[in-house]
């Protein structure tokens, strides 16, 4: 089954997690980790975005649009393909039965309040002082507990994944590539893994400085945490818009020997 959609205003909030704090990855997957100061780190993200016109290929008139939050860990599969392990997908309540029926995805109901009118690009030249004085936008969602984040476009975090430079390129561009260059997503369904293949076209990515004002959902539903708590982000960025194609596998993947830690 092939699905097509556009993702709009996708805010990536990324955290470094001590590898030792995570339960073992499902059979066939391994965490995509990095070394920093002698510590092995894995990575977790919340991606908050709007799904725009999601439809089965050839039936664009059936397109659905709604806000969504994905909670994910970063892994590599048996073919060493950069992938994500989906822990939870939060959507409006009316989407849950549709998504579970069509794709068997780990959907849960949430109330999302996402901003509109976000910039699609930065001016070609803009002094740092102007960036620092830029407008702030707020994202909120509630799903048994709440998360509240404020972001300012145009102030990169400057964080680094580790000492290897990710393919010889240090800095923010390498971070974005690490978090976005993922062509497969896996999730648990019963005692097995499901998989979806995703095309990831090049697109505009804007640097972001983000502040977590309320982290109740993270603290309540995730059994792991960063070294210094959820208020300290590793990095953040915004993808204003990108067209995506999803190819769902028709059958389940490998059996999962035992459940691993997951959101909620």
**How many Å apart are CA 148 and CA 140, to the nearest integer?**
5
- Mark the ranges of the chain whose per-residue pLDDT is less than 50: 127-133, 163-169, 254-264
- 258 assigned to some structural domain: no
CB atoms within 10 A of CB 264: 16
Q: How far apart are CA 75 and CA 84, in angstroms?
A: 5
CA neighbor of 146 nearest in space, from 89, 214, 211? 214
For residue 99, being part of any structural domain is answered with yes
> What pLDDT shows up at residue 150?
95
Sign of CA dihedral 132, 148, 198, 1: negative
Let me know if residue 255 belongs to a domain.
no
Q: Which two tokens stand for residue 6?
A: 């556009």
- Evaluate whether residue 256 is within a structural domain: no
Residue 263 lies in a domain: no
- Which residue range(s) make up the domain with 30? 2-248
| 90-122 residue pLDDT tens | 999 999 988 777 767 778 999 999 998 888 876
- Note whether residue 29 is domain-resident: yes
* pTM strictly above 0.95: no
Q: How many domains does the chain fold into?
A: 1
Q: Residue 35: its pLDDT value, please?
A: 80
On whether residue 210 sits in a domain, the answer given is yes
What CATH number is attached to the domain comprising 98? 2.40.400.10
């Amino acid at each position: 089954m092939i699905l097509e959609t556009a993702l709009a205003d996708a805010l990536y909030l990324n955290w470094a997690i001590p590898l030792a704090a995570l339960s073992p990855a499902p059979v066939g997957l391994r965490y995509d980790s990095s070394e920093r100061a002698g510590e092995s780190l894995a990575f977790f993200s919340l991606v908050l975005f709007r799904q725009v016109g999601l439809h089965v290929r050839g039936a664009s008139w059936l397109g659905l649009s709604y806000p969504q939050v994905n909670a994910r860990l970063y892994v590599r599969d048996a073919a060493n393909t950069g992938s994500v392990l989906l822990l939870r997908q939060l959507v409006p309540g009316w989407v849950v039965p549709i998504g579970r029926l069509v794709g068997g995805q780990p959907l849960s109901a949430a109330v999302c309040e996402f901003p509109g009118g976000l910039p699609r690009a930065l001016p070609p030249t803009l002094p740092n002082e102007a960036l620092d004085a830029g407008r702030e936008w707020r994202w909120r969602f509630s799903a048994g507990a709440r998360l509240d984040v404020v972001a300012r476009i145009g102030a990169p975090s400057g964080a680094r994944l580790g000492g290897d430079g990710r393919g010889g390129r240090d800095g923010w561009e390498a971070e974005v590539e690490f978090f976005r260059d993922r062509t497969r997503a896996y999730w648990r369904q019963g005692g097995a893994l499901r998989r979806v293949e995703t095309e990831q076209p090049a697109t505009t990515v804007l640097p972001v400085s983000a502040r977590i004002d309320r982290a109740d959902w993270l603290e309540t539903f995730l059994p792991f945490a960063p070294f210094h708590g959820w208020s300290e982000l590793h990095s953040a960025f915004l993808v204003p818009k990108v067209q995506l194609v999803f190819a769902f596998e028709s059958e389940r993947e490998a059996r999962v020997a035992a459940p691993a830690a997951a959101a909620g």
